[in-house]
Amino acid sequence: MLSHDLGTTGDKATLVDDAGRVVDTTTATYSVTFGPGGLAEQDPDDWWRAVCVASRQLIDAHPEARGALAAVAFSGQMMGAVMLDGDLAPVRPAIIWADTRSSAQADRLVERVGMARAYRITGHRLNPTYTLPKLMLVRDREPDVFARVRHVVLAKDYVVLRLTGELATDPSDASGTNAFDQTSGDWSDELLAAAEVPRGVLPPIVPSTTIIGHVTGEAASLTGIAAGTPVVIGGGDGPMAALGAGVHAPSSGTYGYLGTSSWVSYASTAPLHDPQMRSMTFNHVVPGLFVPTATMQSGGGAIEWIADVLEPQSGGERYAALLGPARSAAAADDGLFFLPHLLGERSPYWNPHARAAFVGLGRHHDRPHLVRAVLEGVAFTLMSGLHAFREGGAAITGVDLIGGAANSEVVMSVLCDVWGVPVRRRALVDESTALGAAVVGGVGVGVFSDFGISRRMSELDEPLQPDHTATAKYREAHEAFTDAYRRLEPWFEDRAAAAAVAREGDR
């Protein structure tokens, strides 16, 4: 099996054998364009070039795999919008999940549908991080461009199109668009009508395990994958990460993902409709299941940011130099907090105007205090999601961790103490999402008999136990952390309104 995980900063390609063992992995990177007003865009063809490079690297390193691949399968960043013309070519850069420019369009949807009703239909709040408001934004601001749009797909769907010539998406990715009805399992006519977006631009929805097509001759020449190799469409990276973390059934427990964006999640047989709408629910890549999720915009991204600022040299050693001294620093315990809303925020506030801030900073605070506050801020934000899960009836007895930041013992320790439950690191923290894609691909072509193999493919470390004295202090600190945000929220809104007026004046 060859799987690809199209993330925010690169494509991770992984070779997995028929026994479920990871043979090799490689990553091809690409850039993101960030700009004023919440702009976040990428060139879709950069994704395709990365898939070509990564595929060829693995196949050149393992030439015996070229003719032996049972399938290629995909995971991809969610909630974006790749707009295509009638010739299936992009009409503009892709607007990715981190883009928050469509606040006015999301507000218009709220006025027309109602937030509570939309949450019941889609499992999500109406929010500018999702696909549908992004389409409205382009229609409103770039009418000539939107007039050329004939199809809209997600990241992995575009690469599947380039590989096979077939156009489709799956329920997991569809459920992250603000345009999907989780009850009917199809596009929501009500949401599309409110958005004034024609249903015909959205692709057919097929199960995640569907063999959507086969590698074309042209794609074979570019990727090194044999022509005719089956391509399984796969799913969105959130639900795929759940599978890669071994969460394939309601009894599989809770997991946390510590990537650029970060989240906590679990599997259920029905969407979680939180009365406070702190969480959202995606369709799982496992048919019939859902993954209630609480996602923050910048989790691992906040850790990367503080590393860029304080330890700008490249290489993994910078994290050891940065995080080690933070192990024993007092931050929240000394009244210092970091609100990690560098890209606005999803769970629990759903506020694209939120911004990051150090609160309670004193003259005596130094590098270790700042770093510790960042780690605690990430843990506090994710803790709000765990509260929503518990209040919705989920039993949170521990959290299994995946994603790059889970490699740090210091990060693990902070999360464990803040959350007050044991945390365990899965053996394949960096490859979990690509591993999930390989499982979906293997099930799709019959190499794997069921999704349960995911739990056997990545072992768990011994659990780290919380310090209950520290947890008790953090419980009080979490209240102060939340209070700091609430007090700053009106200021965030005032600054956003002033910035909007200034942008209008510049036009």
Q: What is the pLDDT of residues 228-262, one digit of tens each?
A: 999 999 999 999 999 999 999 999 999 999 988 89
Cβ(321)–Cβ(408) under 8 Å?
A: no
Residues of the chain with CATH 3.30.420.40: 2-242, 300-421+467-506
66 pLDDT band (50/70/90 cuts)? confident
Cβ(439)–Cβ(453) under 8 Å?
A: yes
Residue 458 scores a pLDDT above 90 = no
High-pLDDT (> 70) share of the chain, %: 98
Residue 502 pLDDT: 77
pLDDT (mean) for 142-148? 98
Q: Is the dihedral of CA 449, 164, 282, 462 positive or negative?
A: positive
pLDDT tens readout for residues 17-54: 988 888 999 999 999 999 988 999 999 999 999 999 99
pTM of the model: 0.91
Residue 315 scores a pLDDT above 70 = no
Residue 507 pLDDT: 59
Query: Who has greater pLDDT, 459 or 278?
Result: 278
> Among all residues, which ones are annotated catalytic?
237
Residue 455 pLDDT: 83
pLDDT (mean) for 460-472? 93
CATH topology of domain 300-421+467-506: Nucleotidyltransferase; domain 5 (3.30.420)
Cβ(478)–Cβ(383) under 8 Å?
A: yes
Cα 40 to Cα 129: distance, rounded to the nearest angstrom? 10
430 pLDDT band (50/70/90 cuts)? confident
Cβ(335)–Cβ(83) under 8 Å?
A: no
pLDDT tens readout for residues 481-491: 999 999 999 99
Residue 318 scores a pLDDT above 90 = no
Residue 404 pLDDT: 86
pLDDT tens readout for residues 287-296: 999 999 999 9
pLDDT tens readout for residues 333-377: 999 999 999 999 999 999 989 999 999 999 999 999 999 999 999
460 pLDDT band (50/70/90 cuts)? confident
Residue 501 scores a pLDDT above 90 = no
Cα 444 to Cα 447: distance, rounded to the nearest angstrom? 8
Residue 260 pLDDT: 86
313 pLDDT band (50/70/90 cuts)? confident
Query: What is the overall mean pLDDT for the chain?
Result: 94
pLDDT (mean) for 68-81? 97
506 pLDDT band (50/70/90 cuts)? low
Residue 180 pLDDT: 98
Residue 32 pLDDT: 96
What backbone torsions phi and psi does residue 339 show, to the nearest 5 degrees?
A: -85, 115
Dihedral (C-alpha) 344, 349, 353, 355: value to the nearest 10 degrees?
-50
Residue 15 scores a pLDDT above 80 = yes
Please report which helix (H) or strand (E) contains residue 506, including its range. Answer: helix 468-506
Output the CATH code of domain 2-242.
3.30.420.40
316 pLDDT band (50/70/90 cuts)? low
CA-closest candidate to residue 242, choices 75, 20, 54: 75
Query: Who has greater pLDDT, 217 or 433?
Result: 217
pLDDT (mean) for 388-399? 95
